[in-house]
Amino acid sequence: MTQSPATPLPPPKERRRLREAAALTQGQLAARVGVTRETVRAWETGRTTPRGRKREVYAKVLASLAEPATEEKPVEVVKVMQATEVVQDAEVVQDAEVVPGTEVVPGTEVVPGTEDVEVTARQPVVAVAAAAEAPAAEPVVRPEPLREPEPERESGEVLTPTQAFDALYAFCAPALVRQAYLLSGRRELARESVEWAFQLAWDRWPEVAVDPDPAGWVRAAAYEYALSPWHRFRPRYRHPEPPPSDASDRALLDVLLQLPAPYRRTLVLHDGVGLRLPETAAETEASTPAAAYRLMHAREEVAARLPELSDPVALGRRLAELASAERLRAARPPVVRAGSERRARFWTRAAIAFTIAIIGATALTLRTAPTHYEPPVAPGETVPGVPPRAAPGPLSEEELELRTKLRQETANGPERLVPQVR
């Protein structure tokens, strides 16, 4: 869609520069516009373009940031901010437009002027108009989301590789451990998968640091390790771990573990993490129709065993509750970095030792190998017409006496008979 002349927008890089110049984070700017932080990030990277009322509000906010004097916020923007705070506390919503046929949670009221807030059909959005006027309610304990939050960075701050890795680990590791637990059903394997993935990321940090989605890179590596079939041959994984204490959690985990690995991974990414179908297909290395079929089949299997989870929204909420019910804690970033460096040193020394062994074997072969060709001795052949050589027969008495006489005489000295030529 082309930009309307009435509401022009600066380029994506200029949008980010204006926000950073005003010392605002993406979450604060999202609260002013009335969208989520993921949506602002997509606008600043150029992946999506705002449309409709969001475009007008976004353009006004950027124009106010460009002006030196600040004006008072309109009442509608304040209401949008209040509604957005409730939305962000409920769930992390993706940067996607309103899907036709989206189901709205019963009992939900939308603030006037915020009907075009981007939502998806997989996550509930609750925005009460009288949130600011109603008295403060008691805090509700919600399950920790499975989606990794976006790290906040101050404008103009330059991070070292260690600080950048620690920040990525701090924001992604807790959610990745819960996701790996849903995939494998084992607590220790979940922690090991995340630790191994981040060790691999630190070993290849120059590649991961410039990746457009470092969290997705690490998530894919952790999923591959958690779903590896070779774990079944390890002695420590031959015995099952204790199941969850709650009966409903045990039933849901049993259904997940009975699904094939690609179907389980697709279900966790789409309904648990909240990725869109094309992103889920790309991460699972499948086509979009194949990912849609896997998702539909996985939902049917879960609904057949647990009819109360036939709704995708309820299923996503139950997945988050199941993962949050377990005490899953990842190791600290320095421990992960030290393990990665230790493993890199081990494999480097092993490669050096293997190379030295090959060089030694080659030198020994060159030292002991023959320097010239020696033809083999041909086997004997029978010559026709020549009688075979007869073996000597027994000695006569005269020959025996002569042999005895010769043996008794000395072999050297003047007494030895010397033959004379006649």
pLDDT, one tens digit per residue, over 68-118 is: 534 444 444 334 334 333 333 333 333 333 333 333 333 333 333 333 333
| Residue 149 resides in a domain | no
169 & 289 share domain:
yes
Q: Which of 302, 324, 346 is the last residue of a domain?
A: 324
Q: What's the confidence (pLDDT) of residue 140?
A: 45
172 & 126 share domain:
no
76 & 206 share domain:
no
50 & 90 share domain:
yes
| Residue 415 resides in a domain | no
Q: Which of 298, 324, 350 is the last residue of a domain?
A: 324
Number of domains in the chain: 2
Threshold 0.85, pTM exceeds: no
Residues near 368 by Cβ (< 8 Å), separated by ≥ 6?
A: none
Q: What percent of the chain has pLDDT over 70?
A: 74
Write out the residue range of the structural domain in which residue 320 sits.
161-324
- The C-alpha atoms of residue 102 and residue 260 are separated, in whole angstroms, by 28
210 & 315 share domain:
yes
178 & 268 share domain:
yes
- The C-alpha atoms of residue 174 and residue 180 are separated, in whole angstroms, by 10
274-304, pLDDT tens digit by residue? Answer: 889 999 999 898 999 999 999 999 999 999 9
CATH number, residue 290:
1.20.140
182 & 280 share domain:
yes
